[in-house]
Amino acid sequence: MDERIINALRAATRVVVFTGAGVSAESGIPTFRDKQTGLWEQFDASELATPDAFERDPPLVWGWYEWRRGLVLGAQPNAGHRAIAAMADHVPYFTLITQNVDDLHERAGSSDVLHLHGELSRPYCEACRRHYVYPEGIPDVLPGGTRLQPPRCTACGARIRPGVVWFGERVPELPWVAAREAAKHCEVFLCCGTSALVQPAASLADIAIAAGATTVQVNPNPTDLDTSVTVAIRGPSGIVLPQLVSEAWGYP
């Protein structure tokens, strides 16, 4: 592994890891811009992840998120999630920021995760915003896609909506401000498994670069960040991150 990264990690007191759907790919969760599977092939994720799509066809959108929730419930964190969780034990000020709506970082042992795009596990009422508690068990949604009526709020009767941030909606203020401050003050910024296309999340890497951090991208494919990060590592996070943590701190 590039010695600049290993030395920077060992010396750092402030490290930020910023993740996208790619870090959950090795857990079997499709990324956003990979081809959709089953019925979902006919849809582009960005056509389903919008307030208009939910208004137009609530059962289709709720069914899609239930299908994804079922995938996540049936999945396990991978070695990349676990390496990120282990990294936090070696860094005085460690911040994990994710665009992912699954809970695989938490299930791998990470805490205080900054979810910029919401969480599948936290749907809420469109009207009174009360959180909705899912019934036990994995939703019975076929991989080919099933329309499911969204549940109703037990308090006010309005529709429950997925707990994610849709295209056109603002990212939640508190996680965003915390993420931006962490990117501004870190010494090492690791950008893992994201196409770095969606704003404002993608601007975090630019903030870290402008602040002079050692910036690293982990992705098997090229992205626009390749030419601006300190080091672009071509590879899957489930392989690269454990290797990074092992070389820096002798993990596990």
How near is the Cβ of 49 to ligand APR at its closest, in Å? 6
Q: Which of 90, 117, 131, 185 is catalytic?
A: 117
- Catalytic, 105? Answer no
If one asks whether residue 84 binds ligand APR (CB under 6 A), the answer comes out as: no
Q: Near ligand APR by CB under 6 A, which window of 58-66, 135-143, 147-155, 188-196?
A: 188-196
- The length of the chain is 252
Strands (E), 99-208: 114-115, 124-125, 160-161, 188-192
Half-sphere exposure for 124 (CA within 13 Å, toward CB): 12
Rule CB under 6 A: which of 6-65 touch ligand APR?
20-23, 25-26, 31-33, 45
If one asks whether residue 242 binds ligand APR (CB under 6 A), the answer comes out as: no
Q: Of residues 69, 193, 205, 209, which one binds ligand APR by CB under 6 A? A: 193
Per-residue burial over 32-50, b if 16 or more Cβ lie within 10 Å, else e, is bbeebeebbeebebeebbb
Closest CA to 246 of 10, 73, 4: 10
Residues 6+ apart with CB under 8 A from 243: 1
Q: Near ligand APR by CB under 6 A, which window of 58-66, 82-90, 177-185, 191-199?
A: 191-199
**What SS3 state is found at 134?**
coil
Binding site for ligand APR (CB under 6 A): 20-23, 25-26, 31-33, 45, 99, 117, 192-195, 197-198, 218-221, 223, 236-238
